[in-house]
Amino acid sequence: MTLSTYVTVALGLVVSAILARSLGPDDYGRYAYLLWLVGLLVTIGNHGFPISATRHISELKGAGQDTEAASLYSWLKKWQWTSLLATALIFAACMPFVEPIGWSGHSLLFTALCILCFVPKAFFYFNTSVAKGYGAFWVEASGNMLMSIVYTIGVAVLAWSQASLMANLWWFAAISVAHMLTMVMLLRKSEIRGSSIPLPQDLRARVQVHMRWTSLQVFVAALSNRTVETYLLGRLIGPAEVGYFAIATNLVRGGIELVSSSLTTILMPSLAHARGAGGVAQVNAIMQDTLRYFAVLGGLTAGLGWLLAEPGVNLLYGHRYGTVAHAVQVMSVISGFFLIEAPFSSALATLDDHRFKTGLSVLYFGLSAGFALWLVPEHGIMGAIAANGLTRTATFLLCAVWVKRRLGLVVPWTDAVRALTSVAVAMALASGLTHLVGGMLVHWLAGLVYLIGFICMTLLTGLWKPKDIHLLIKIAQRFPAVAKVLAPILSRMPQAADPSQRS
């Protein structure tokens, strides 16, 4: 994870806390619903353009075909604008069906705000993907960091002046437009330009085939990623529930990104390289390691999320949002367990089986919609969380079985038992502390007890392999203060004394 990603995630949580405290549950829920809808429109409007731009432009640049890359950029940009216009018109026509509770009589304003926000942001994210294709990764990092800082400052000023919901929404609209203006300047600085030279017919045909499959997968994924749950909460339950759901989602997602995004980023390229270099045997070796690493990260996420949810929510959002704590606890456990999705999803991405991936996406959407329609109207936010958990369970099992059969993977069940044992023992120690001693501060201490207990148990159960111990020693040695404490302890581990041990 780059510095810009840490900054963006951290500032996102800060902004969420400031807005929730200043607006209150109902108005914050209305704000969160509009932001969710803008994000959905960005995904639908861009659909397959960003992925296709990154993949095909990078391939053309790698082959030295700079002219074709520039022509492809112009061709994609033209059709992206067409897609954004169509998305805006369809959205305006569908407004009676998507307008949330509390906006009655303000449909035109709500529509205008959504379109004003989503079009510039879609332009920004499409062009960051183009920049990635050109190898200019700094464009996305610089743009996101700059906009996050400016947005946070504005939100803080508005909160200090006790501004209304509408003032905050207009500030979000202004920042969205600023995304577009910033991207124009960054593209000029990076000297990324299109070309008026027509795109070769064979290249166009290849890109169109990729776009069709990718767009379908993106459409279905966009409608499956807590979309039905959020929609039903906004239309049937009320704005406060939308705000609670958004807070729980943001907190858990932020925690997941902080602990796992670096490993997730390099996983798919590593698996693809291993498959090309050493075949299934080498993929199996990497999968064994990554499943173990993600099991550890998942155990940390689930345990710490469960223990620190209540004090964390009270600290960031205040006592008015205390009901969110239980939702964060449950979502932390679900998300922690499903961190092991990442290796299977990355392995799936290395296989060009678009039919299975599209079918899996369609199944995900169908299950998500069905469970949400069943559970959300009666159970509100907890029904939404349950619907998401049930859907992820079914699709994960299907994906894991399919990938296992296609690649002949060996699932490390012994390591899974070791990880679960470590979670159980560490949670017993931490929970015992919270039951013996009352008070909110004890939860923070319990989190520390869980962290230490979990790490110790993973070492005692033999979850870490010799190569893991030696890697940790090397990493610790880069930081003298850390190495002074950890290196002697790690060096005394039985695994460290036997580098040949692999099981």
Report DSSP letters for 313-324, one per residue: HHHHH-GGGTTH
- Rounded to whole angstroms, how far apart are CA atoms 484 and 72? 53
- Please state the rounded mean pLDDT for residues 434-459: 88
pLDDT digits (tens, 9 = 90+) for 429-441: 999 998 888 777 8
User: For the segment 386-413, what is each residue's pLDDT rounded down to a tens digit?
Assistant: 999 999 999 999 988 888 888 777 788 8
The SS3 of residue 478 is coil
**Best CA proximity match to 409, nearest among 337, 348, 500, 339:** 348
**Exposed e or buried b for every residue in 127-139, given b needs 16+ CB within 10 A?**
bbbbbbbbebeeb
Q: What residues contact residue 214 under an 8 Å CB cut-off, 6+ apart?
A: 47, 48, 51, 52
**Residues 91-112 pLDDT 10s:** 999 988 888 877 777 788 999 9
Mean pLDDT is highest, among 55-59, 94-98, 341-345, for 94-98
- The whole-number pLDDT of residue 274 equals 63
Residue-level pLDDT at 403: 83
> Closest by alpha carbon to 113, among 192, 171, 185, 183?
171
Give the pLDDT of residue 379. Answer: 92
Q: Which of 112-121, 148-157, 185-194 has the lowest mean pLDDT?
A: 185-194
Beta-carbon count within 10 A of 251 CB: 26
Q: Please state the rounded mean pLDDT for residues 49-61.
A: 82
Output the CA–CA distances (angstroms, integers) from residue 283 to 217, 255, 261, 349, 372, in the order listed. 25, 28, 20, 13, 36
482, pLDDT greater than 60: no
Q: In the prediction, which pLDDT does 484 show?
A: 67
Whole-model pTM?
0.82
Alpha-carbon radius of gyration of the chain: 24
| The pLDDT of residue 115 | 95
Q: How confident is the model at residue 179 (pLDDT cuts 50, 70, 90)?
A: very high
Helix, strand, or coil (residue 479): coil
Considering only 233-242, 346-355, 441-450, which range has the smallest mean pLDDT? 346-355
pLDDT tops 80 at residue 283: no
Q: What is the pLDDT of residue 500?
A: 46
- Is the CB of residue 419 less than 8 Å from the CB of residue 299? yes
Nearest Cα residue to 295 out of 330, 336, 257 = 336
Mean per-residue pLDDT over the chain, rounded? 85
pLDDT for 366 equals 92
**Residue 132 banded pLDDT, cuts 50, 70, 90:** confident
Please report which confidence band the pLDDT of residue 276 belongs to, taking 50, 70 and 90 as the band edges. low
CA distance 8 to 187: 21
The number of C-alpha atoms within 13 Å of 33 and in the hemisphere containing its C-beta is 30
pLDDT tens, 296-340? Answer: 889 999 999 999 999 999 999 988 898 899 999 999 999 999 888
**Residue 72 pLDDT greater than 90, yes or no:** no
Mean pLDDT across 149-174: 96
Structure tokens at 42: 């960005």
* Number of other residues whose CB lies within 10 A of the CB of residue 201: 8
Least confident of 45-49, 106-110, 274-278: 274-278
pLDDT of residue 503: 43
362-392 per-position pLDDT tens digit: 898 899 999 999 999 999 999 999 999 999 9
Residue 109 CB neighbours (<10 A)? 12
More confident residue, 415 or 270: 415
Look-up: residue for tokens 């939100």? 155
Spatial contact of 74 and 194, defined as CB atoms under 8 Å apart:
yes
As a whole number, mean pLDDT of residues 462-488 equals: 67
Highest mean pLDDT among 3-7, 250-254, 365-369, 473-477: 365-369
pLDDT of 359 above 90: no
Give the pLDDT confidence score for residue 261 in this predicted structure: 66
Of 388, 29, 395, give the one whose Cα is nearest residue 229: 388
**Contact criterion met (CB below 8 Å) for 298 and 336:** yes
